[in-house]
Amino acid sequence: MSAGQSWRVRAGVFAATAALLSAGTLLGAAAPASAAPAAIRLTSSSCPATIQQGQVSGCVTELQNLLNAHGAGLTVDGDFGAKTLYAVREYQASVAIAVDGLVGPQTKAKLYATGGSAPSPINLDSSSCPANIVQGDKGGCVTELQRLLRHFGYDIDIDGDFGSATYSAVRSFQSSNGLTVDGQVGTNTKRALYDTDESPSTAMDLRSASCPSDITEGMSGGCVATLQALLNGKGQHLDVDGQFGPLTLTAVKAFQSSAGLSVDGEVGPNTKNALYSNISTGGGSGAPSPINLNSSSCPSNIVQGQKSGCVTELQSLLNHHGADVAVDGDFGPLTASAVRDFQAEKGLSVDGQVGPNTKAALYGAVTPPSDPAPGGGYTKMLTVAEAELGTVEGSARANSYGSAVGLSMSTSKYAWCATFVSWVAKQTGASSYRNTYVSGWVNQARAGNYHLSVTSDPQPGDIVAFDWNGGWDFTGGHEHIGIVRTVSGGSSFTTVEGNTGNPNGGSDGVYSKTRSTADGYNVLFIRVR
């Protein structure tokens, strides 16, 4: 279920909660007040950069109209009062952006990108959508379908109505992706539509502004995946699939009961803190208590396969140095990959074993190496990437890319665009950073880590990240990444991308694409130096 659907689920309790905030009736039929100022588009220069409580204007009128299109039921009067503030915060939570009640650039972009007056989008894989979505269907599932098709370049309206234009776009999409051309959106077509999405991340902190204040049944994405990973650290046995379904709900309630919390199945601040408290201190039924790596209780070499408090400590230290691994006390392939990345970054022997030198470096006893001199491995990024052009998804060659991030699964099973970039970086030694998530590459570049930085002057061999649904957050499952091939001036450039459509039809793979910075989605260039 998508964030849009979670908004609809929450709408059932919206009125009851809102009643606590006002002596009057908060909800009801949206009846525009006669004195409401004329609506002004939020991105207009006439509207402030941040719209907030207390303001009265046409910008607020527009805001209230947009919130009502997403189910708020506000009276449209152009006055940003307590009711509008509550609706803004509810909307922000539903789309997993910072819940601050301030309508800044990110909230504005989301309001316009998530369907407008169309029914709220619903994840196509959720139980609320039919197994086959067909012409004539209407609703949030069709809204989501149309939104995804637009990401692939099809110029159709997002109105939640599966008409002839949507039908033609589906057939064209199926043809270009080597699918059965029947105009029906079944399992294979749904998977292909989501194929540029990132698989659920378990690196998100549930307490951060990136996650909703309350995570509830029906939601999906990286925050849910993190929740599932944390619950497994408490003895549950969930699939970490990023879908908050009945099994996850049962696990949440079981944890709340064992922790002496209110058993409501909603993951709010108290439940989040309890989930993290046991892991951070090593108590309870979570990860084993951390043990100093130099203690006599830890082996001289900590290796893959071990499970102990020494591994808990190791994972915590790796995360302190920028890794994104679950702190569960289990030395698995992702922890091994993080160890190798750390060793490469610190100029140590890259063997994946945590011996005396690696332990010392983890505790800060070794000075990080200086930046490489010009002419380093980054100059080979494009050469290595171009050599892979034509590699088909699911082939042995494509599947081997996963070795760079500790994955051995088929590339036909997950979104592997960032895995490909990680593999190229590993082959060239351009950067020791590896991550299967676009957001990871963007965040490290913005922070200036791992010899990565953001640039406005792209050159062949640079990395380029795309945020298809805007907002510049590169999260939410609608992002992509590749390597710049040519820059022709202006807004146009070409790329080498993994996990992208075959321009001649057939299976996805590594192909060259023509892209632009003027196509309505966010583009961020990353310099590798």
Query: Which helix or strand (DSSP H or E) is residue 313 part of?
Result: helix 309-320
Nearest to 83 by CA among 91, 71, 74: 74
CATH 1.10.101.10 fits 306-363, yes or no: yes
Q: Which residues have a Cβ under 8 Å from the Cβ of 317 and sit 6 or more positions away?
A: 293, 362, 363
pLDDT in tens, 155-191: 677 778 899 989 998 998 888 777 899 999 998 898 8
Q: What architecture does CATH give domain 378-528?
A: Alpha-Beta Complex (3.90)
**Which residues, given as ranges, of the chain have pLDDT below 70?**
1-34, 70-73, 90, 92-100, 113-118, 120, 150-155, 195-205, 208-210, 220-222, 232-235, 239-242, 277-290, 316, 319-327, 364-377, 406, 408, 476-477
pLDDT at 323: 65
To the nearest 10 degrees (0 to 180), the angle between helices 58-69 and 82-94 is: 50
**CA–CA separation, 154 and 160 (whole Å):** 15
Q: How far is CA 11 from the centre of its chain?
A: 24
pLDDT at 496: 94
pLDDT at 94: 55
pLDDT at 183: 95
pLDDT at 369: 34
Cβ atoms of residues 462 and 527 within 8 Å: yes
Q: Residue 318: what are its φ and ψ, rounded to 5°?
A: -60, -40
Nearest to 124 by CA among 155, 147, 157: 147
131-141 as b/e: b if 16+ CB within 10 A:
eebebebebbb
Residue that has been written with the tokens 């830890």 in this structure: 298
> In whole angstroms, how far apart are CA 9 and each of 4, 5, 212, 479?
9, 6, 14, 25
Question: Domain spanning 137-192 has what CATH number?
Answer: 1.10.101.10
Residue boundaries of the structural domains of the chain:
137-192, 198-272, 306-363, 378-528
pLDDT at 26: 34
Please name the residue ranges forming H helices in 187-245: 187-193, 222-232
pLDDT at 151: 58
> In whole angstroms, how far apart are CA 30 and each of 38, 63, 221?
16, 13, 31
pLDDT at 377: 66
Q: Give the SS3 label for residue 354.
A: strand
The model's pTM is 0.38
pLDDT in tens, 102-114: 898 878 877 876 5
Quick check: do 137-192 and 378-528 share a fold?
no
> In whole angstroms, how far apart are CA 256 and each of 51, 241, 275, 294?
37, 21, 9, 36
Give Dmax (Cα) for the chain.
Answer: 76
pLDDT at 25: 33
pLDDT at 427: 83
Cβ atoms of residues 42 and 60 within 8 Å: no
Structure tokens at 302: 């900590």
Q: What architecture does CATH give domain 198-272?
A: Orthogonal Bundle (1.10)
Torsion, CA 132, CA 150, CA 500, CA 180, rounded to 10: 30
